[in-house]
A and B are shown apart, each in its own frame.
Chain A
Amino acid sequence: MMLLPHPLVTVILTLLWMVLTGFTLGQLVLGVLAGILGGLAYRRITPQRIIVRRPGAIARLFGRVAGDIVRSNYDVARLILAGGRHRRRRAGFVRIPLDMTSPNGLAVLAVIITATPGTAWIEYEPRNGQLLLHVFDLIEGDDWVRTIKSRYESLLMEIFE
């Protein structure tokens, strides 16, 4: 049996343990123990080892998402303030065909879409790769399929696949 089926999970759990308790040798030992146990437990859920590639792509994705979150926060806050007077806003569903199949990539995409106000992940159909999104403000001519695929999916596929 491998002791570290998920090194990334173990490292992050150990770090979290140290941050929450203290940076001493004793806590390091306990933290590593907790990290290894966490990694072993995680293997039960996800046998496949998490592989992350291309740090450059990760940095680019991070910057892009941070900017988008700020912008969409502003947009949604303004729309809520406009309230009843703003009758032209139209919410609706958008179906997006995804090419990405990596579960980890999909999980990160879910985090991105949820963290960005104005888009909500409703359901994903693994049989045909269709993602159903709910969009708060469907602006005419805005191509959501292309936005999601070119802004996020292509980078996520570089990182996880």
Chain B
Amino acid sequence: MSHLAQIPPVIALLIAGFVALGTILTLLGAIGLVRLPSFYERLHAPTLGTSWGAAGILIGSMLMFSTLGSRLVIHEVFLGLLIMLTTPVTMMVLGRAALHRDRAEGHPPPGTEGPGQPLK
């Protein structure tokens, strides 16, 4: 791990801070996914990991590799963008599937009745 010695302590602390923030948020998202009471509430928890959870780890990675100067640090920007762009697809599929099931079983959750027709 000799290359780690090239990083000044201040930058190392910053990197550690961002990575810790990202991992803690991702962990909290996972805990929420297990512990929250209803399906729709559980949908929210993992978005902690896909927003600032991912951003924290990616910023840490950018800082680290731009300090070491080993490569262009634009990879992380694209990673973050691709995570942000693809998450809504899964979220919508999960949310709509749950709502469809609830409506088909005849007990739509409060607030979802009314103008919206059941999905065909």
Contact = CB atoms under 8 A, between A and B. Distances in A.
Contacts of B47: 76, 114-118, 120
A148 interface: no
Contacts of A110: 88, 92
Contact of B74 (A19, A73, A94, A134): A19
Contact of B95 (A73, A80, A123): A123
Interface in A118-161: 118-123, 125, 128, 130, 132, 134, 136
B31 to A, nearest CB: 6
Given A73-B48, A80-B35, A93-B112, A115 B87 contact: yes
Interface in B73-94: 74-75, 78, 84-85, 87-88, 91-92
Contacts of A128: 115
Main secondary structure of the interface of B (DSSP, over half): helix
Contacts of B85: 111
B13 interface: no
Contacts of B25: 73, 77
Interface residues on B, range: 35 or more
Interface in B43-83: 43-45, 47-48, 50-52, 72, 74-75, 78
Nearest to A137: B44
Given A80-B36, A121-B91, A123-B99, A132 B116 contact: yes
Nearest to B94: A120
A93 B103 CA distance: 14
B41 A91 contact: yes
Interface residues of A, number: 36
B4 interface: no
Interface centre among A70, A73, A81, A118 (most CB of B within 10 A): A73
Interface centre among A83, A94, A111 (most CB of B within 10 A): A111
A41 interface: no
Contacts of B48: 73, 76-77, 80, 117
Interface in A6-47: 16, 19-20, 23
Interface of A: 16, 19-20, 23, 69-70, 73, 76-77, 80-81, 83, 91-95, 110-111, 113-123, 125, 128, 130, 132, 134, 136
Interface of B: 25, 28-29, 31-32, 35-36, 38, 40-41, 43-45, 47-48, 50-52, 72, 74-75, 78, 84-85, 87-88, 91-92, 95-96, 99, 109-112, 114-117, 119
